[in-house]
């Protein structure tokens, strides 16, 4: 596999190397809707930590696999509540899977898609109540202020407009964020 950095990477799917274990591919969301896949990364030292990016909590078997690992800490991508295409059935499935994880893992950090809308914070707080213990977003875990910039992007663009072509210039290294800090 050749990367953009012109570095040769070895396939990691299903590989275990010392304290690192990479899962087989799992669905990126609901497997009935997409065939995209992601890989989870487990680190085992004194604790068992798993990063489950973009799983969206929409696949029961993935959640069962996570619980089988008997983790100490999990950071997972939550459901994209902001997408109109997400059905109530999918939201309910994500909720039930999140509750299973919150009750079955010592420390559950849920982030990414879930915090692209302000409803995500309420979802986490309600999940904590139902689980009977704290469920955190990444900012909470790091003892940082929650800054839901994606959830507030319309207001931010209105208050801090960028010139025409700025995004392309930024991507090409011709513009910076200096004026917006």
The residue extents of the domains of the chain are 16-150, 151-181
d(CA 156, CA 66): 37
What is the pLDDT, as a whole number, of residue 2? 46
| pLDDT, position 4 | 59
Q: What is the pLDDT of residue 26?
A: 95
Alpha carbon 23 to its chain centroid, in Å, reads: 16
Write out residues in the chain with pLDDT < 50, as ranges.
1-3
pTM of the model: 0.85
pLDDT of residue 179: 83
Amino acid 11: pLDDT? 78
Angle in degrees, CA 145, 150, 156, rounded to 5: 90
DSSP 102: H
């Amino acid at each position: 596999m050749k990367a953009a950095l012109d570095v040769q990477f070895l396939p990691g799917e299903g590989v275990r190397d010392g304290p690192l274990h990479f899962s087989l591919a799992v669905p990126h969301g609901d497997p009935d809707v997409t065939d995209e896949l992601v890989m989870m990364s487990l680190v085992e030292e004194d604790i068992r930590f798993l990063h489950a990016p973009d799983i969206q909590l929409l696949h029961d078997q993935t959640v069962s696999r996570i619980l089988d690992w008997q983790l100490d800490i999990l950071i997972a991508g939550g459901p994209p509540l902001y997408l109109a295409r997400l059905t109530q059935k999918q939201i309910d499935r994500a909720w039930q899977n999140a509750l299973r994880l919150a009750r079955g893992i010592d420390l559950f950090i849920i982030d990414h898609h879930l915090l692209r809308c302000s409803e995500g914070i309420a979802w986490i707080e309600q999940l904590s109540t139902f689980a009977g213990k704290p469920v955190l977003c990444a900012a909470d875990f790091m003892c940082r202020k929650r800054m839901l910039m994606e959830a507030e992007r319309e207001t931010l663009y209105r208050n801090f407009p960028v010139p025409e072509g700025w995004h392309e210039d930024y991507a090409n290294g011709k513009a910076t964020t200096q004026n917006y800090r």
